[in-house]
């Protein structure tokens, strides 16, 4: 790691931890929410999903016993409306890239683009409709839409259509599901939804169900990156255990950064590739062949929990295939079995995950198996402060050296792309947060680094982010921060290619 990143990481961490004695406010720490769920009713939903507090009087019949007790029109409207709830927010996000060069690196003949300076002026709106249908059924619909005016300000003609399509506007139906009880022990959830597996907050090991929005890696936490998929989920509860069976009907892939953008520059694999030479992606269509399957067994006990997982889902790695002599990128399925657990020990939350992934299609060699392992902890023994550390290793069986050393020119001559993966790929995520002002403000620092063994044995790169969330009123909140991308040794080019994306950002949000 570069010296400036080490100094910045250490100083930022000391800055946060050094302010622990700033005040003696009420003790309100979080982090054990997953143990608050009822093992009979199933895992706890987020607050946006929780309709239990809705006034159920809307299901009562109005009284007609006496003329003098007629219910007013206003009361009838209130009672009828109690079965649904509208919520959401609007926000404005601004970002400024202070490190990017004025012209991107491109192949001869291609148009260089300017990603420096103003990089986001994004207006966003989210609308959520929660509905309760009787005692045991409910539904939720959530729509997200945003428009980024920075491209208009900077001149739309100065960017490729692929970049504009990815970053100028977006609309997505994030949630659209119906959920209810078929029997006292059997629940069903049908529609577009997000299903979170595993115990880690920063590193994905067993969390393989939903794809991610990877257009701006490092800018947003995993919890806000998952993309919903249409699926049918059945949950059967017995004692302290819950058994889930999932059929994923929608073969949705990740939203990727467009080729040539600042997060996927044309030299991300080495020498610049012409825009029109980067293979197009073929997304799988809805079909029985592309249906994905998963199941889990979750046990929740006093102070600890344990989960077992199995899934056949689409991988986020692409392979190259020729279609009428034209190379295209396509995606294949992987098989995963995994286990994860949490243990509360005093002020410590200990966590561990492991996943064995079968039949990964590596471009430079062929299909391999991989074992992913994670250990970590959260420490909440200091008032208003949380420390979290997670370490992960991904080990490839029957590893071949060319999986790391195959260059782009040699790979293109073979009709493929390099993999740039190590036999053991290590990842570390350190996070610390400090809350103050009666928990209305929280400062958080996150450091994520990747590396491993093999040639150029060192950390390959990563990012660090420092930000503050401030709740100004019940409706208005602010957040602002800085992101620093770390290029690393350069053996694996992905991090080096985006190391100049350092930026500051600020967002104001109004919730309703």
- pLDDT tens-digit map of 277-299: 999 999 999 999 999 999 999 99
pLDDT at 80: 55
Alpha carbon distance 170, 126 (integer Å): 12
Q: How does residue 496 score in pLDDT terms, banded at 50, 70 and 90?
A: confident
- CA–CA distance, 331 with 373 (Å, rounded to integer): 24
Number of domains composing the chain: 1
Q: Residue 4: what pLDDT?
A: 41
The strand pairing partners of 213, in sequence order, are 255
Question: Residue written as tokens 């809805």?
Answer: 286
The answer to whether residue 350 scores a pLDDT higher than 70 is yes
The residue among 243, 233, 242 whose CA lies nearest residue 195 is 233
**Contact indicator for 15, 434 with CB cutoff of 8 Å:** no
DSSP label of 291: -
What are 309-324's pLDDT values in tens digits? Answer: 999 999 998 988 888 8
pLDDT in tens, 378-433: 999 999 999 999 999 999 999 999 999 998 889 888 888 899 999 999 999 999 99
Q: Rounded to whole angstroms, how far apart are CA atoms 342 and 459?
A: 28
Give the integer Cα–Cα distance in Å for 486 and 4. 10
What is the rounded average pLDDT of the residues 449-457? 74
Domain that holds residue 206: 3-511
- Most confident range (mean pLDDT) of 11-15, 334-338, 411-415 is 334-338
pLDDT, position 81: 58
Provide the pLDDT for residue 454.
61
Query: At residue 88, does pLDDT exceed 90?
Result: yes
Selection from 219, 221, 213, 227 nearest residue 255 by Cα: 213
Q: For residues 499 and 81, which has the higher predicted lDDT (pLDDT)?
A: 499
Residues of 54-80 as b/e, b for ≥16 C-beta within 10 angstroms?
beeeeeeeeeeeeeeeeeeeeeeeebe
Share of the chain above pLDDT 90, in %: 71
* Short-list 379, 376, 385, CA closest to 16: 385
Query: Is the CB of residue 315 less than 8 Å from the CB of residue 360?
Result: yes
Q: Determine the Cα–Cα distance for residues 144 and 154; give it in Å rounded to an integer.
A: 25
**77 pLDDT more than 80:** no
Residue 194 has pLDDT above 50, yes or no: yes
User: Which residues does 93 contact at the CB level (< 8 Å), separation at least 6?
Assistant: 120, 121, 122, 124, 505, 506, 507
> For residue 357, what are the β-bridge partners?
336, 370
Q: Decide if 281 contacts 321 (C-beta within 8 A).
A: no
Would you put residue 96 in left (φ > 0), alpha (ψ -120 to 50) or beta?
beta
Q: What is the number of other CB atoms lying within 10 angstroms of the CB of residue 326?
A: 9
C-alpha 445/C-alpha 430 separation (Å) is 8
Instruction: Give alpha helix (H) positions in 406-468.
Output: 408-413
Whether the predicted pLDDT of 26 surpasses 80: no
How large is the average pLDDT for residues 45-64?
A: 38
Task: Give the range among 204-208, 384-388, 450-454 with minimum mean pLDDT.
Answer: 450-454
For the cut 70, the answer to whether the pLDDT of residue 69 exceeds it is: no
Determine contact, residues 138/146, Cβ cutoff 8 Å.
Answer: no
**Cβ neighbours, 10 Å, residue 455:** 10
* CA–CA gap between residue 59 and residue 446 (Å, rounded): 47
Q: Is the pLDDT of residue 48 over 80?
A: no
- Say what percent of the chain tops pLDDT 70: 83
pTM: 0.82
User: Hey, how many other C-beta atoms are within 10 angstroms of the C-beta on 99?
Assistant: 12
Q: Which of 239-248, 360-369, 440-449 has the lowest mean pLDDT?
A: 360-369
Task: Report the pLDDT averaged over residues 179-204.
Answer: 97
Please compute Rg for the chain using Cα positions.
25
Mean pLDDT confidence for 14-21: 36
What average pLDDT score do residues 490-495 get?
A: 83
Note the pLDDT of residue 457.
58
299, 307 contact by CB (below 8 A): yes
* Confidence (pLDDT) at 511: 97
Q: What is the pLDDT of residue 73?
A: 56
The CATH number for 145's domain is 2.40.160.10
Cα dist. 420→143, 253, 317, 460, 489 in Å? 37, 21, 12, 11, 13
Mean of per-residue pLDDT scores for the chain: 86
């Amino acid at each position: 790691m570069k010296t400036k990143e080490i100094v910045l990481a250490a100083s930022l961490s000391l800055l946060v931890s050094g302010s622990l004695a700033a005040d003696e406010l009420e003790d309100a720490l979080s982090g054990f929410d997953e143990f608050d769920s009822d093992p009979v009713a199933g895992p706890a939903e987020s607050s946006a999903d929780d309709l239990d507090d809705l006034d159920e009087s809307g299901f009562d019949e109005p009284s007609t016993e006496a003329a003098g007790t007629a219910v007013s029109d206003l009361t009838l409207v209130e009672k009828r409306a109690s079965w649904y709830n509208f919520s959401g927010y609007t926000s404005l996000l601004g970002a400024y890239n202070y490190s990017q060069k004025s012209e991107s690196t491109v192949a001869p003949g291609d148009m260089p683009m300017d990603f420096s300076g103003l990089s986001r002026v994004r207006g966003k709106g989210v609308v959520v409709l929660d509905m309760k249908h009787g005692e045991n059924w409910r539904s939720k619909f959530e729509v997200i839409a945003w428009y980024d005016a920075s491209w208009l300000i900077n001149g739309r003609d100065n960017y490729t259509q692929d970049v504009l399509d990815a970053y100028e506007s977006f609309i997505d139906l994030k949630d659209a599901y119906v959920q209810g009880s078929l029997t006292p022990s059997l629940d069903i959830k049908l529609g577009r939804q997000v299903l979170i597996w595993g115990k880690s907050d920063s590193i994905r090991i067993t969390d393989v169900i939903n794809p991610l929005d990877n257009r701006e890696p490092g800018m947003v936490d995993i919890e806000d990156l998952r993309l919903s998929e249409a699926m049918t989920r059945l949950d059967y509860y017995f004692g302290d255990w819950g058994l889930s069976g999932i059929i994923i009907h929608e073969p949705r892939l990740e939203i990727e950064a467009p080729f040539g953008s600042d997060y996927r520059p044309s030299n991300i694999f080495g020498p610049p590739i012409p825009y029109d030479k980067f293979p197009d992606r073929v997304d799988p269509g809805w079909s029985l062949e592309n249906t994905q399957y998963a199941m889990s067994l979750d046990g929740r006990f006093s102070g600890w929990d344990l989960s077992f997982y199995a899934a056949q889902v689409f991988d986020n790695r692409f392979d190259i295939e020729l279609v009428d002599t034209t190379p295209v990128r396509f995606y294949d399925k992987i098989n995963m079995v995994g286990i994860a657990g949490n243990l509360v020990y005093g002020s410590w939350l200990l966590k561990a995950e492991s996943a064995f992934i079968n039949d990964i299609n590596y471009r430079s060699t062929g299909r391999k198996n991989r074992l992913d392992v994670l250990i970590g902890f959260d420490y909440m023994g200091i008032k208003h402060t949380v420390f979290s550390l997670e370490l992960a290793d991904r080990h490839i069986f029957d590893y071949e050296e060319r999986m790391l050393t195959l260059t782009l020119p040699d790979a293109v001559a073979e009709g493929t792309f390099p993999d740039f993966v190590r036999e053991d790929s290590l990842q570390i995520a350190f996070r610390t947060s400090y809350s103050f002002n009666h928990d209305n403000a929280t400062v958080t620092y996150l450091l994520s680094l990747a590396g491993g063994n093999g040639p150029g044995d060192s950390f390959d790169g990563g990012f660090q982010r420092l930000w503050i969330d401030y709740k100004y009123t019940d409706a208005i909140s602010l957040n602002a921060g800085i992101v620093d991308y770390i290029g690393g040794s350069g053996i694996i080019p992905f991090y080096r290619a985006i190391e100049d994306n350092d930026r500051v950002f600020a967002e104001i949000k109004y919730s309703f």
